Structure 1
Amino acid sequence: MSKILIRGAKVLGGDAQDVLIDGETIEAVGAGLSAEGADVIEAEGKILLPGLVDLHTHLREPGREDSETVLTGTRAAASGGYTAVFAMANTFPVADTAGVVEQVYRLGQEHGYCDVQPIGAVTVGLEGSKLAELGAMHESAAGVTVFSDDGKCVHDAVIMRRALEYVKAFGGVVAQHAQEPRLTEGAQMNEGIVSSELGLGGWPAVAEESIIARDVLLAEHVGSRVHICHLSTAGSVEIVRWAKSRGIDVTAEVTPHHLLLTDEMVRTYNPVYKVNPPLRTERDVMALREALADGTIDIVATDHAPHPHEDKDCEWAAAAMGMVGLETALSVVQQTMVETGLLTWAAVADRMSYAPARIGQAKGHGRPVSAGEPANLTLLDSAYRGEVDPAGFASRSRNTPYEGRELPGRVTHTFLRGRATVVDGKLA
């Protein structure tokens, strides 16, 4: 690979600097670097961030290639500025064995748009009754460190305790989908005023909060790590804040859509707003933003959940839950967190690169933009404004809640170990 000089970018939103890439590595960072022998990217006014890392992506392969594949999903990730994603285990077959996680891992290596780290299932078949092959998945070529039954909750306290004990031996983490199933039977949206007015089954906040409370206590008892997926309520924030004050080893994530959208959107009965956990109230949204700003919530994770057209283009009750998010995540964070003054770009780098890489142990990712580091980088035109058009998505699915909405920011370049995967806003 030839040398590349990124000229005049605002590194982490700070002063304009040049960044020289040589092969897979950042050779130098500073003002007035020589462009001799290098391809030059003029980046005046643009924001340069470390490559983004998503700890919560659904790539669907194997088994639901009509929704997404590792190829299309990683192309979508690169388009959104991501250089690494963690692929959830709810595939067909479930990623509960070394063989399945190795298949996903190798597909990621073959396609090369971003690194793919499989997440292993906690229980066999996501059925919640028997531990999966956690040790074998960790020792496999995929080197799994994160385990989750996401889409389903590990609701049995004994199974959850055993999982926490097992992963402690090799420094792994259990990522919990916090949803007490008995409290959400038939639930269609957030339980509250809007659900009462619409006559839709309510999804109470306590269904999430009770599981989080139990699991942080289990993690404290075992001395293990627990990660809370897609936190969505103000009460959940307070539980995590309390747990951290006690020194419990808990981390948490919030999705972009829970930072922006509320249950008021469900009044349209448009299934694009149907998601798990459901969109909550304005009060919850504000609490989530404040918690992300103060560090109670550690990271932003997309919960990118692609579905084919027929699974969303139907009546509300029959529609699948989930939204695509890889290609819009950074824009939503810019609007909700940066333009509101809640986060600096340096803090965005922490919440969307450094911290998720640290939690998931993504080698070579979430590293500083400095000499000697891997050249995993994202260049953002933060001044851009444009309407979201899902027809231009790299993802195979189009179930975005932002169609026609104006969002700020546009990823112009993404580099994976010095190789451009996105150039001038288009896939390389």
Structure 2
Amino acid sequence: MPYDAITIDTNTFIQTGIALETGLLAQLEQFKEAPVDLVLSEIVTREVLKHLQQMTKKGRDAGLAALTRLEQLQLVAEADRERLKQVAESVVDSREAARQRLARFLEATGAQAVRASHCSIDDLLKLYFAASAPFEPTGDKKFEFPDAIALLSLQKWAVDGGKRILAVSADKGWAAFAETSEQIDVEEDLAKALETLQEHAAAAEATVAKLMEAVVAGTQPDAANAIEEGLTASLADWVFSAEGSGSFYLEADSNTLRFGSYELAKIGDDYDITVVRLGHEIVAARIGATFTATAEADFSLAVWDGIDREYVNMGGASAETEIEFEGAFLVTLYGDLAGPLDDIDVGEVEVVEAIDSVDFGEIEFDYGDPDDFDALLESEPETEAAEEPAPAAGTHNGV
């Protein structure tokens, strides 16, 4: 069934980590020049901005604290400490940074705003008192008002323009509302929604599958290397929470994933491939995979002081563990898709689905490398050469 527009719910933005410039959300830029419109409810835009501002403030505070900590621990050469202060002073206001970032996304995607004023108060009240979707028949229905306003305003926009909308949302209320709407259908998976809007997606999917089959067989080493390099860089930047247990209070300071290998996932006999963008000599596809990686984390350890009623820092500890998890990556291919595989170049490779948290098990105090302590004991402090005492008065050399 053809659609004239696509819209995204707030929970879809959150599921992608509000990564506006990368991954699946970046693929929305195709709609700026496409016959299909990207429309966003004013409600969704406001909610995304609120979440983005919270994330930005948290990151800003953590970054400034890290810069201060670097200086306190004298981990930066004295000659560079002034530059460190300048970096701290140049950090912009988090609320303004979030507004500008969202504004750039809206401009890049050509998103059209659907004002909440499109929503009819009469229709809103009818849904509320009838406990019709997205309102639940039980529970506190006031929390459903934002969804109801968003959906009714989008439906009014579609009716006025004679359009059909494909909405991307994992919210059950949105899905239930769509069952009674002639203008809105709901798909909970963004990648599948994007594929639905692509013409000739089946042929492009077959080309991607053919290339991945060649990568697995080892007949396309350049493509294989490009994919592994992309996965290595992307996994290293993946954000996840580090967890552990032990006799100390633990707080993760930093963590990272070191790529090991991947195996393409299959649905039946076919690879799990979803075309999310298709243009002239370009295709972007989400590919399901099982990853192996080494997770590494640094923890700060503390104990509770019952007298001063505060946590006392006890140093740190590092941990690593081998993990395997289900996920997916986005690969962009360039070239003539109808031509030979050798003429297709692998472009951007980004991990778009991976592990949320890693349990590192028992974390104990790290006493350090014994060799470091032995070296410290054996080292002699540097001292300036003693000056030769001046001859005593009344004496001279050689006597």
Q: With structure 1 as the length reference, what TM-score do the two structures score?
A: 0.22
- Name the structure where strand makes up a greater proportion of residues: 2
- With the length of structure 2 as denominator, give the TM-score of the two structures: 0.23
Going by fraction, where is helix more abundant, 1 or 2?
2
Structure label with greater radius of gyration:
2
